[in-house]
């Protein structure tokens, strides 16, 4: 299998990996999507409705509304209060809720996510923007972190097809598997079937390709940040967002606008919530 090793990886540009002091690094360690080194794994990286008129989706004929909290961030910035409060809000809105901690957020977990029939998907995960030249293509993508340690011997086909990346919190961090947009498009059976997907980590909509890949798999709405965001702020903003969507029954665009009007941008990084439908 042909792949770039660590010594051969291209260095990210200044906008991706600034030269931080130790104090800044410690502060950034609290971010929901720590600036990461993402190394393409594949020999070829091939990418560079029920109506939702209100905040809550209409119940499907097969059963009640379903939501999931994917909490990969629990490995580095645990916040049990967020999970408890979000679960309570969702249950008040008629949802059944599944919760998956970081150690359960693997490549195979993501593989089965689209087929689980969730109406609302909360991705409380580290994520990072990959923006670089690769084999003649200009890549500008967002990669979602798993909690699964990277191995060149696992998921060989997916690595060769550019569906996975190597994700690191910092240069010297242990590598993890990262989910690239091509995995969402080609490696996930099933459909998100007009669900709402909230990418809570950094840069969820800094580049639209990952969000577009969810839409291409059937999602109705994708909500995410346009830059770096702290764990504390994304938890607070997402908590308010869920309340507006579920308890106050606002349309997604209005819920996003109201959340930003109430809280403003992230006070540390200046990023704002955006929406793609």
Over residues 66-82, the pLDDT tens digits come to 999 999 999 999 999 99
Contacts of residues 14-17 at CB distance under 8 Å and 24 or more positions apart, as own/partner, are: 15/131, 16/129, 16/131, 16/132
- Give the other-Cβ count within 10 Å of 111's Cβ: 18
CA distances from 221 to 31, 80, 136, 201, 244 (A): 24, 26, 32, 16, 15
pLDDT of 4 higher than 70: no
112 alpha-carbon distance from chain centroid: 15
Residue 48 has a pLDDT of 23
- SS3 assignment, position 65: strand
Amino acid 12: pLDDT: 33
pLDDT value at position 131? Answer: 80
Distance between CA atoms of 227 and 53, rounded to whole angstroms? 28
Architecture of domain 49-56+65-276: 3-Layer(aba) Sandwich (3.40)
* Coil, strand or helix at 172: coil
Does pLDDT of 20 surpass 90?
no
Q: Which segments of the chain does DSSP mark as H helices, in order? A: 22-28, 80-92, 107-113, 156-160, 181-186, 209-216, 231-242, 252-263
Q: What is the mean pLDDT of the chain?
A: 82
How confident is the model over 20-26, as a mean pLDDT? 39
Mean pLDDT of 45-74: 58
Query: What pLDDT is attached to residue 64?
Result: 87
In the predicted model, what is the mean pLDDT of residues 136-159?
A: 93
Higher per-residue confidence, 253 vs 58 = 253
Q: Dump pLDDT digits (tens) for 173-218.
A: 899 999 999 999 999 999 999 999 999 999 999 999 999 999 999 9
A 10 A CB-CB count for 131 gives: 19
110 close to 150: Cβ distance less than 8 angstroms? no
Q: How many helices (H) and strands (E) does the chain have?
A: 8, 11
Position 106 pLDDT exceeds 70: yes
Rounded Cα–Cα distance for residues 63 and 75 (Å)? 32
Average pLDDT over residues 39-67: 46
By DSSP bridging, strand 65-71 and strand 95-101 are parallel
Query: What pLDDT was estimated at residue 8?
Result: 26
Residue 61 has pLDDT above 60, yes or no: no
Can you tell me the mean pLDDT for 208-237? 97
Using the 8-state DSSP alphabet, how is residue 12 labeled? P
Mean pLDDT, range 38-62, rounded to an integer? 37
Give the global pTM: 0.81
**In the predicted structure, residue 124 carries a pLDDT above the cut 50:** yes
Percent of the chain whose pLDDT exceeds 70 = 77
Asked if the model's pLDDT at residue 51 lies above 70, the reply is no
Give residue 40's pLDDT band: very low, low, confident or very high (50, 70, 90): low
Instruction: Give the pLDDT band of residue 126 (cuts 50, 70, 90).
Output: very high
Q: Is 108 helix (H, G, I), strand (E, B) or coil?
A: helix
Tell me the pLDDT band of 151, cut-offs 50, 70 and 90. Answer: very high
Q: For residues 53 and 34, which has the higher predicted lDDT (pLDDT)?
A: 34
Mean pLDDT for 89-104 is: 97
Tell whether the model's pLDDT for residue 55 goes beyond 80.
no
């Amino acid at each position: 299998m042909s792949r770039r090793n660590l010594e051969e990886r291209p260095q990210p540009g200044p906008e991706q990996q600034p030269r931080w002091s130790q104090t800044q690094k410690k502060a950034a360690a609290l971010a929901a999507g720590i600036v990461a080194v993402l190394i393409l794994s594949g020999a070829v990286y091939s990418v560079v409705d029920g109506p939702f008129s209100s905040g809550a989706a209409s119940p499907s004929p097969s059963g009640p509304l379903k939501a999931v909290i994917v909490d990969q961030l629990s490995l580095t910035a645990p916040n049990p209060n967020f999970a408890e409060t979000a679960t309570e809000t969702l249950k008040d809105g008629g949802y059944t809720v599944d919760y998956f901690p970081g150690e359960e957020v693997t490549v195979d977990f993501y593989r089965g996510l689209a087929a689980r029939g969730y109406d609302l998907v909360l991705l409380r995960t580290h994520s990072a923007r990959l923006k670089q030249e690769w084999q003649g293509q200009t890549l500008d993508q967002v990669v979602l972190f798993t909690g699964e340690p990277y191995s060149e011997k696992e998921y060989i086909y997916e690595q060769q097809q550019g569906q996975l990346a190597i994700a690191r919190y910092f240069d010297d961090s242990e590598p993890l598997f990262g989910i690239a947009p091509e995995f969402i498009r080609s490696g996930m059976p099933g459909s998100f079937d007009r669900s709402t997907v909230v990418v809570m980590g950094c840069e969820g909509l800094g580049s639209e390709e990952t969000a577009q890949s969810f839409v291409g798999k059937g999602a109705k709405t994708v909500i995410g940040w346009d830059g770096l965001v702290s764990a504390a702020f994304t938890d607070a903003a997402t908590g308010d967002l869920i309340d507006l969507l579920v308890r106050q029954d606002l349309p997604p665009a209005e819920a996003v606008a109201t959340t930003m009007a109430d809280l403003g941008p992230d006070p540390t990084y200046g990023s704002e919530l955006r929406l793609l439908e």
